[in-house]
Amino acid sequence: MSILITGGSGFIGSHLADHLLDESNDKILVLDDFSTGDAGNLDHLDTDRVEVRDGDIRDAETVRETVGDADAVYHLAAAVGVQNIVENPLNSLKTNLEGTENVLEAAAEDRTPVFLASSSEVYGKSEDVPFSESDDAVYGPTTTTRWGYATAKATDEFLALAYADERDLPVVIGRYFNIVGPRQTGQYGMVIPTFVEQALAGEDLTVYGDGTQTRSFTHVADAVELTHELLENEDAHGEIFNVGAPDPTSINDLADRAIELTDSDSEITHVPFEKVYGEDFEEPDQREPDVTKLRETLGWTPEADLDRILTDVIDERTSEEVVAE
């Protein structure tokens, strides 16, 4: 079989490629334009089972040809990162909306199974935690750029479910909750790689807001295993699942733990959100998944193991420093 990963050079996509190579005999086909991904994330895959194609998911013909060569699709390509989304809203909307429609339309031709990577952002600023897949979403005004990403991912879900209903397309939707681990970049505002790099450099850790906001962090190794199992499980087709670990952590506590595990002398500095993202920026206070549905379907859920995540990221960054020297 040939398995397509759109956005396969990205953080989650490259880990998914690792997992699929380890767990199957399938050929891996990667489609990526390397706008936010990194070709270096695939350099370690010294195998003839991997083919990388340079292409944009907004190009319908490229997507149609590539999906036509696949027996299953993991659609991970997207515009990601709060900073990226706020600074480039049009590119974010077009990538997430046009790209997903192209993938679903191409997959529908042969009913090729699709895993659609969605986001906890679809819950918006709801305070009804933990979030269940059937909960209402609460968004801010359209003048607040951040909610464009949330509504685009929600529209992607509507599209996927419509293709499942009207075109009998096998689709699984996974709402990722702060997937983190090695290879993740802090370039677009991702908090853990940013904190680790600042702590290792002895710099102040920059916490946006008062730091009391909480997030649920999930190790990428767990996330890609769940992603694979969901698409393989026919009972999951046509359904939406939270993909994440419960037990949220405040950003202040995360910063403290990063300092402790790096044995750093860094301090914590708080910076108002509006100073970084503008006056109209809104940040949800809480993000916590209800994983009941995931557990009932697959029989397991990831554990919230912040030390494991931080240690893996620290080890990666320190080994890079050694190589660079």
Active site residues: 149
Determine the Cα–Cα distance for residues 203 and 1; give it in Å rounded to an integer: 48
Rounded to 10 degrees, the C-alpha dihedral 22/233/179/128 comes to: -170
The three-class DSSP label of residue 318 is: helix
Determine the Cα–Cα distance for residues 301 and 286; give it in Å rounded to an integer: 20
Question: C-alpha angle 42/157/148, rounded to 5°?
Answer: 85
> Using only C-alpha atoms, what is the Rg of the chain?
19
Determine the Cα–Cα distance for residues 56 and 144; give it in Å rounded to an integer: 27
The three-class DSSP label of residue 106 is: helix
Across 62-92, b (16+ Cβ under 10 Å) vs e yields bbeebbeebebbbbbbbbbbbebbbebbeeb
Determine the Cα–Cα distance for residues 106 and 99; give it in Å rounded to an integer: 11
What DSSP state is assigned to residue 283?
-
